[in-house]
């Protein structure tokens, strides 16, 4: 049943057009980074439970990549997010046209269908504190989400999102 929920969340996540943009410092040797931790004063912008879900998903993905959570890490992770409300695209259009001696006009009104949709933007920064808090990798994701999702669906959402985010780490040079 868990697998089915994960697959549904993954399908929704990919079908809704999750966008992930990456940026990184070109001179970085990503092979030197083996351990990580999170900034202690991180303000993620998520609820306490969603924050735990996201960190659990990141820990799992980084562990699969061979990185280890440590008290004396090679780099720190900072997470920031914000909720975005996408407005409906209802609009009014006015047109005038004609052929030959006839002139016509028209007015068009868009009727909004459904309610507003919500997107969440999540920014994940990898920072090397030993090099003066040098930002060396960043991922910015934006995806739609359901504010009323069950806890299981929320975890599946974060698992699928994190998997997509870390497709770009380490970057291919």
Q: What's the mean pLDDT in 129-140? A: 92
Look at residue 13 in the predicted model and tell me its pLDDT: 45
The residue extents of the domains of the chain are 2-87+116-168
CA distances from 166 to 83, 100, 118, 131, 163 (A): 21, 60, 23, 23, 5
> What is the C-alpha to C-alpha distance for residues 78 and 32, in angstroms, rounded to an integer?
19
pLDDT in tens, 56-111: 999 999 999 999 999 999 999 999 999 887 655 555 565 666 666 666 666 565 55
The highest-level CATH class for domain 2-87+116-168 is alpha beta
What's the DSSP call for residue 171?
P
pLDDT in tens, 148-160: 899 999 999 999 9
Residues written for the chain: 173
CA distances from 157 to 20, 36, 62, 143, 144 (A): 15, 23, 17, 10, 10
CA distances from 91 to 13, 84, 94, 107, 109 (A): 28, 20, 10, 11, 6
For the cut 50, the answer to whether the pLDDT of residue 168 exceeds it is yes
Q: Is the pLDDT of residue 12 over 50?
A: no
pLDDT confidence tier of residue 141, bands split at 50, 70 and 90: very high
Predicted TM-score of the model (pTM): 0.74
State the average pLDDT over residues 14-35.
86
CA 8 – CA 10 distance, rounded (Å): 5
Backbone angles phi, psi at 145, to 5 degrees: -150, 160
* Proportion of the chain above pLDDT 70, given as a percent: 71
Token pair in block for residue 156 = 């599946």
Average pLDDT rounded to a whole number, residues 51-55: 96
């Amino acid at each position: 049943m868990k697998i089915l929920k994960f697959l549904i969340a993954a399908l929704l996540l990919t079908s809704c057009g999750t966008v992930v943009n990456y940026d990184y410092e070109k001179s970085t040797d990503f092979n030197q980074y083996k351990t990580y931790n999170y900034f202690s004063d991180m303000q993620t912008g998520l609820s306490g439970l969603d924050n735990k879900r996201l960190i659990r998903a990141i820990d799992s993905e980084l562990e699969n990549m061979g990185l280890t959570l440590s008290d004396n890490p090679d780099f720190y992770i900072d997470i920031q997010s914000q909720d975005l409300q996408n407005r409906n695209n209802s609009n009014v259009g006015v047109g005038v046209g004609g052929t030959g001696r006839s002139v016509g006009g028209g007015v068009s009104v868009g009727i909004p269908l459904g309610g507003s949709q919500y997107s969440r933007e999540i920014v994940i920064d990898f920072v090397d504190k030993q090099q003066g808090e040098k930002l060396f990798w960043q991922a910015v994701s934006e995806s739609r989400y359901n504010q009323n999702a069950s806890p299981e669906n929320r975890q599946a959402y974060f698992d699928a999102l994190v998997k997509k985010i870390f497709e770009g780490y380490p970057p291919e040079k």
